[in-house]
């Protein structure tokens, strides 16, 4: 199921008119960095989506 969701997000991002990517890192309690990716895009219909 995860691959299906990922494939759908990739397809929507490829069709997007505008796209932004935010990457952030913060250490957890064991001092290991946890990396976060946030994708925000505007669909062809003008709707804004945010996926992370």
Question: In the chain, where are the structural domains located?
Answer: 2-51
* Alpha carbon distance 6, 36 (integer Å): 16
* Alpha carbon distance 52, 37 (integer Å): 6
- pLDDT in single tens digits along all 52 residues of the chain: 789 988 988 888 898 989 999 999 999 888 899 999 999 999 888 999 998 8
Residue 52, pLDDT score: 83
Residue 17, pLDDT score: 87
Phi, psi of 44 (to 5 degrees): -65, -25
Q: What is the CA radius of gyration of the chain?
A: 14
Global confidence as pTM = 0.68
Residue 28, pLDDT score: 84
């Amino acid at each position: 199921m995860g691959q299906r969701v990922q494939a759908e997000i990739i397809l929507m991002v490829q069709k997007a008119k505008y796209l932004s990517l935010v990457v952030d890192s913060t250490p957890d309690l064991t001092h290991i960095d946890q990396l976060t990716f946030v994708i925000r895009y505007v669909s062809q219909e003008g709707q804004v989506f945010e996926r992370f």
